[in-house]
Structure 1
Amino acid sequence: MDILRRSLEAQPSPPQWVLVVAAVLAALTVLSDRVWPVARHMITIAHEGGHALAAVACGRRLAGVRLHSDTSGVTVSSGRPTGPGVIATVAAGYPAPSLIGLGATGLLAIGRFSLVLQLCVALLLAMLVVIRNGFGVASLLVSTGVILSISWFAPPTVRAGFAAYIACFLLFGALRPVVEVQRQRRRRRARDSDPDQLGRLTGLPPTFWVGLFGLTGLGCAALGGAALFG
């Protein structure tokens, strides 16, 4: 009951330096070629979760989600092979981490630091229901365990800093895959990427979708930063 009460009520904002350190650490995580391959799994979870949620919202039949050790993932759904439903489903992946991060910064701005952590746990457990491979299950359980441990046992300042780190990591981390997929496209190594699929579905060039995903990520990062530090 204490955890539930703490999750729903507003907490005092931590010192500004805590938020700054959290944002810097999130940026370093995304920029580090050593840490990023591990941390990227969280972006993949959010990315595939976006596909899955859009598929269900559009009335498609969700078969499941698979997460792979190379940080790739796939969401399988069935329904009409063309039309708004499948377009929305394919398009939802790249913006999902940015939108989740933006929502998290909005909650942080009103002092709901513990609520952000609990919502992250809820989203991970919801993903667990649709995961269809062992690595995906393990990845979700480890992530859930880390967040729960900090939520339950860490002092308030650490909880607040970790919540801010998650929000900033989602905002910053959403941008790097957009850059990566465009690099792969230039080398003709991503013929089945989301932008290429959207190009075939809509007739719009894949570069349009890459640009749209990038602008969405940048916009969410700017709004999230204003909410957190404004």
Structure 2
Amino acid sequence: MTLRHRLSALALALSAFAPAAAGAGHHCRDVDHLSGTYTVCTFDPALEAMRIYGVPDGSREPATYGALRDRLRDDREALLFGMNAGMYHPDYSPVGLLVENGKERSPLNRADGRGNFFLKPNGVFFVGRGAAGVMETGAFAAARPEATYATQSGPMLVIDGAIHPRFLPQGDSLNIRNGVGILPDGRVAFAISRRPVRFHDFATLFRDHLGCRNALYLDGSISSLYAPEVRRNDRLAQMGTVVAVVGTLPY
């Protein structure tokens, strides 16, 4: 292949990673639901590499999208999508289960406590062998599905088609929120609100608008998104756990 042809091929490959105009992404779109607007990004775990990363062992620094991009680039990989994916302690270690590349880095947490993580039922988002799921913590513990990647968070938003029993339609707790649900065809839907919303409205987005029978809350005040195709890069976000969709960089 001539140098000219190699450069043309490289330019074509790089164009796959170029950001599209806002609202025109292949995976991401804006959705209006009740009183809020949400960015919803959907991916097929059978076709796209979906992973969950915690902070490196021994590190007391938060995870950031920039650091994860650099880490992936060393392996000739590209970060195509990212979202914060679970609650963490002050040292950025996960509050609950974290499975990364088949290794359990933090165990399942079934304890009682205060805060959103312990607003039971809470649950687990997991990925393994071309499929993904969201399960309530007790059901996950009983079934122990194969999970190459997993993160535990809470509360559950939708449990087997039912809205979490503690959510009130007129609740006054408003926050930017993000979460994950499984669509009827097995694809994974990630959503983040554009402005503060109540838990109940966020849960009905997954159940009534997206058709998810199970969905999990990932967090609130630290909610963030990395989605170049819609020109979204919350570069100041500091996280304990990140869910990522990864592609291969062209040579």
TM-score between both structures, scaled by the size of structure 1: 0.26
The structure with the largest strand share of the pair is: 2
By relative contact order (CA 8 Å, sep 6+), the higher-ranking structure is 2
Task: Please state which structure has a larger fraction of its residues in helix.
Answer: 1
- TM norm structure 2: 0.24
